[in-house]
Amino acid sequence: MKLPPPFKIRMADFLGPELEQFIEALGSESPVSIRINKNKYPFDIAYKPILWTQTGYYLPLRPLFTADPLLHAGAYYVQEASSMFLEQAIQQSLPVKESMNVLDLCAAPGGKSTHLISMFPADSLIVSNEVIKSRVPILSENIQKWGNGNVVVTNNDPKEFKDIKQFFDCIVVDAPCSGEGMFRKNANAVDEWSEDNVQHCALRQRRILADIWPSLKANGILIYSTCTFSKEENEANLAWLCEQYDAENVELNLEETWNVKESSFSGCTGYRFYPHRAEGEGFFLAIVRKKADDSSEFKFPKKRAKSRLLPLEDKNVTPFKEVFINAGNWKYYSKDEDIIAVPIAKAKEVEFLYDSLNVFSAGILVGQHTKKEFRPDHALALSVNLNKSFFSVIKVDKNEALKFLRKDDSVFSGGSEGWNLVEYEGLGLGWVKKIGHRFNNYYPKEWRIRLSLDKLQ
């Protein structure tokens, strides 16, 4: 790998005699790792565990992930190992109580968001935000596949959270950065690297932190991470945050076997992952807690204009109330023909966010209720709370699953007239509608596998 000389000089400053090992590691293959969705796949895994998380594993080789229906069913997420250190940050710095509000501010494509969803109890609310509009659909797809209803996906600039003060118990800022830690995975990152870009990224990160700081509750924690090594984007920004705001740095206990490097600057400590030390890509993470200040606790606005989300009356819910196993835990809303289900425990928060932000999706899109029928939505098929006994189920093998995921008009056997859930290894993949002898495939066309069947075998 041809590294920019000024980058090498910078790294020599950090690493001294370890520089050669670091450069050698950049020339080696990246480890391949996944994180399991225990709600969907609660089985023992035979692969080598990632040391700083309960649900991450290294794979010996990179398989063709597209050809695995379990990936499409949300049984796991393909994620770089160092990023899963987020779990230590949450576990060690936040006594996870019930009913928390969590924000993942820079969320696409959804690695940290799906991890946060797994870590917080179901009565918490995860807001997964992405400012770049074109990146929101892939974020939403990954969240839907994960299958939880306590999530709101938003498309806002950090500064648009200005009226949501002291609302979040935890904010994750996985900031856009110069990407030095991804040089091994992404050759473009090397070409795009420059000293100017490092400075540009550092300033943008400060703006993001400043914009979102008021949204953090007193005593709440903010987790700041990047996939880069530059001090400007990491320790210097952490120190700036502590100096500028009522923030105190939180330290973590590290196991020696993790090979994570503690890094202190101006009295603040963060954690660095180097590819020649820890088995993962370059990564930096640091935590701050907002110092207590009870003066401006979050309060829901008193007088509100009519909400854009209209609650459904009980009598209108009856036709689909049993679609969830925990039927009593949901509040239903209508938006045009769509029916949206939101956990009752966080309904008030979701309504508030719906009217304050640019919400892409909230809770589970249950389906559409037309004059003719109730049409289940794809998100419902992927829900971990789906009540399968409410629907007719067609179990498929791997080959049939792949045909279904390609959106082929394959003929299934069995099933009932009307809507059928297609299930692979116990997990919902989507819907087909049987009309006479015909099966119509309702897999979302934007999500379909584009490779031919022979390439998938």
Ligand X SMILES: C[S@@+](CC[C@H](N)C(=O)[O-])C[C@H]1O[C@@H](n2cnc3c(N)ncnc32)[C@H](O)[C@@H]1O
CA proximity to 96, closest of 116, 114, 121, 113 = 121
Does position 185 interact with ligand X (CB under 6 A)? The reply is no
Nearer to ligand X, 35 or 403 (CB): 35
Does position 203 interact with ligand X (CB under 6 A)? The reply is no
Does position 72 interact with ligand X (CB under 6 A)? The reply is no
Does position 135 interact with ligand X (CB under 6 A)? The reply is yes
Q: Are 146 and 121 in contact (CB under 8 A)?
A: no
Q: Are 348 and 101 in contact (CB under 8 A)?
A: no
Among 36, 70, 89, 208, the residue binding ligand X under the rule CB under 6 A is 208
User: Residue 227 catalytic?
Assistant: yes
Contacts of ligand X in 75-104 (CB under 6 A): 83
Can you name the residues that pair with 268 across neighbouring β-strands?
265
Instruction: Give least dist CB 173 to ligand X, A.
Output: 8
Nearer to ligand X, 158 or 270 (CB): 158
At residue 7, what is the residue type? F
Nearer to ligand X, 152 or 341 (CB): 152
Q: How many residues touch ligand X (CB under 6 A)?
A: 17
Does position 176 interact with ligand X (CB under 6 A)? The reply is yes
Instruction: Give least dist CB 78 to ligand X, A.
Output: 11
Among 69, 74, 111, 220, the residue binding ligand X under the rule CB under 6 A is 111
Contacts of ligand X in 143-162 (CB under 6 A): 158
- Identify the active-site residue in 170, 177, 201, 227: 227
Among 74, 109, 282, 376, the residue binding ligand X under the rule CB under 6 A is 109
Does position 180 interact with ligand X (CB under 6 A)? The reply is no
Does position 131 interact with ligand X (CB under 6 A)? The reply is yes
The catalytic site residues sit at 227
Contact residues for ligand X, defined by CB under 6 A: 83, 106-112, 130-132, 135, 158, 174, 176, 204, 208
